[in-house]
Chain A
């Protein structure tokens, strides 16, 4: 079992068509509000230039929206944050377009859609939009994407003693590829995590907050069909959210939304889990 990795969650952002921000998501979970009756179309992040807002892929729009909200909630300037972007499939609509165009007339391939097809497109637009020159990465781990990205964000925060932005998101997989590798609708979540102990630049020295204590441990040898079963997602959210690949993030977010302490495990690979304890902490500077 690995050493215990302790971080504080400094801010949370969330976006889904019927739960368009973290406050709404928390209120729905607590039974204080209903999900929005009409699903919203995708957000239009102010970070993007007006021409880019229309052309930006769905994955970029939702990732930037959640990321912006998390930074606001954390009260940190995005320019100071290294970032980790995690997405299961990349942008399905662009892949559907590219593969369709290649099959009909490859010379008609759009240069903009091609450079938007990279897995780090959201990371690229985020750093361009915020003017952030800090490191940024983009990764996937299939049905373990959320856990793998969370581990990398926590590791970066502790290794370099800095707050880190973590963004996890997926959009729909349309067209023929979506029949084989499905994902519906859109979900984006974002966390700003920082070392619990440490005095690096930008690290808040004291205060009350939610703390994640994570460790990598041996786990189930067989991979479950999906690392998140419907039963592990609160019903209030499950009913309000599409069958999207980033439902992976919901069990952890549900624990963060409630005031309860709790423990959960997320699969990282066959035979290996990320075990997370969530606690309320008071730290003294």
Chain B
């Protein structure tokens, strides 16, 4: 496919607001996870909670959309010059030529949960929450469209944990067919009772900070995040960050557990590399889905071991001194830093790939004490400084919904 320039990007997670906080935490191996202080009913787990979301105040024209998710969306927009970049694009192309394709799994359901917790004695929503704007999942899309004053196609993609990866693919098609000249993609998901107690009911939540790919991993830590990227066509923009491939697939297997052989994940990965016109050998860094659940990490580790060849440099860094590290493939899960941010995981980890290229740094797998040998030779415990020219991001969701993205520091192979 024709690459698209990523001309602006930002993310806000539990490790802090904006890209500098994130790359700083990745390099310092500092986690944003903390004991659960979010739910009223106690639940023993660790969460990636973003500080100061409660303090965000929406401007009056956006007041009907007020809820935790849209507050986090606004907090997320206000970093890394993102709003200024959108304004420049609006001047360049016109507000009706910029598409907004945004991902979320639960959107503003937290506001609906709150209304049920505070029903009137007659069983109705309290007055302050009688706002249809927040009790429907497109709340996020409309809110962002109003906040950024956009007039192009506007859609909320909700395919669970692949949502904000799939937005890149959808936006690329809109630009390819000339329906828009630029696209704002991204995702926002906030902590809420539904996901904390829902994943708990599936026995997928760890009582400790998640440790992906560790032989003793025992579940996920949930988190919240917002992230955005601005995509423009090659030629329209000079950039050192490019979306060069995407691949999507379905497992056709089970609603809440991955295909045991990673069938769908492999289809998405191979399709993404084919569209990117890159061989597996060209990839320097993979940000894995790596949730910390037994099954996901086992299946994903086996997939990576199967698709990506083991070079002498890989075995050197795995079995001998890290000082020998050559730019062989490194893979990691960063969910020990941010928690699993569900519908925002795609954009957060896409931004991590872009930061890995920009800073020449490949993050490690925080909280894991060792890497499960069953998960293959590529998964790295610790981060390292090394050039990253091509980076891959994997996102897999409930319903067997898979999406893989490929980024590069230049458009040409």
Q: A residues engaging B (CB < 8 A)?
A: 2-3, 5, 88-90, 95, 98-100, 102-103, 105-107, 109-111, 114-121, 123-125, 127-128, 130-142, 144-145, 148, 151-152, 155-156, 158-159, 176-177, 179-181, 216, 218, 221, 268-272
Contacts and interface: CB of A to CB of B under 8 A. Distances in A.
Contacts of B150: 269
Contacts of B57: none
A142 B152 contact: no
Given A88-B138, A159-B173, 12 more contacts: A98-B113, A103-B119, A111-B203, A123-B250, A123-B399, A128-B255, A137-B166, A137-B170, A140-B156, A180-B125, A180-B130, A272-B154
A141 B156 contact: yes
B255 A116 contact: yes
Contacts of B112: 95, 99, 177
Contacts of B248: 135-137
A102 B201 CA distance: 12
Among B105, B154, B198, B200, which residue has the most Cβ atoms of chain A within 10 A? B198
B189 to A, nearest CB: 12
11 contacts: A5-B179, A115-B256, A120-B158, A123-B159, A124-B399, A133-B249, A135-B169, A138-B159, A180-B130, A181-B132, A268-B153
Contacts of B116: 99-100, 102-103, 176-177
B96 A134 contact: no
Contacts of A135: 169, 248-250
A120 B178 contact: no
Interface string B180-204: 1000000000000110111111110
A130 B253 CA distance: 10
Contact of A130 (B136, B137, B252): B252
A120 B162 CA distance: 10
B145 interface: yes
Nearest to A144: B154
Nearest to B117: A103
A2 B93 CA distance: 13
B208 to A, nearest CB: 19
B309 to A, nearest CB: 25
A134 B151 contact: no
Interface of B: 39, 41, 43, 95-96, 100, 105, 109, 112-113, 115-117, 119, 123-125, 129-132, 135-138, 141-142, 145, 150-160, 166, 169-170, 173-174, 176-180, 193-194, 196-203, 248-256, 263-264, 267, 397-401
A140 B201 contact: no
A120 B95 contact: no
Contacts of B157: 137-139
Given A106-B193, A128-B253, A132-B252, A177 B135 contact: yes
B155 A148 contact: yes
B125 A140 contact: no
Given A118-B399, A124-B400, A128-B255, A141 B124 contact: no
Given A95-B109, A119-B159, A124-B400, A110 B201 contact: yes
A150 B8 CA distance: 29
Given A118-B398, A127-B399, A133-B263, A176 B119 contact: yes
B291 to A, nearest CB: 15
A118 B160 contact: yes
A179 B250 contact: no
Given A116-B255, A120-B397, A155-B173, A181 B96 contact: no
The 4 closest A-B pairs by CB, nearest first: A124-B399, A271-B151, A119-B158, A114-B198
A111 B201 contact: yes
A142 B138 contact: yes
B252 A118 contact: no
A107 B177 contact: no
A226 B252 CA distance: 36
A221 B313 CA distance: 58
A156 B169 CA distance: 10
A144 to B, nearest CB: 8
Contacts of B141: 140-142
Contacts of B131: 180
A133 B250 contact: yes
Contact of A218 (B96, B177, B267): B96
Nearest to B152: A272
Nearest to B97: A2
B397 to A, nearest CB: 7
Contacts of A181: 132, 135-136
A158 B177 CA distance: 8
B125 A114 contact: no
A119 B105 contact: yes
Given A98-B194, A114-B194, A269-B153, A133 B252 contact: yes
Nearest to A274: B153
Nearest to A127: B250
Nearest to A115: B256
B177 A88 contact: no
A139 B113 contact: no
A100 to B, nearest CB: 6
A141 B138 contact: yes
B193 A102 contact: yes
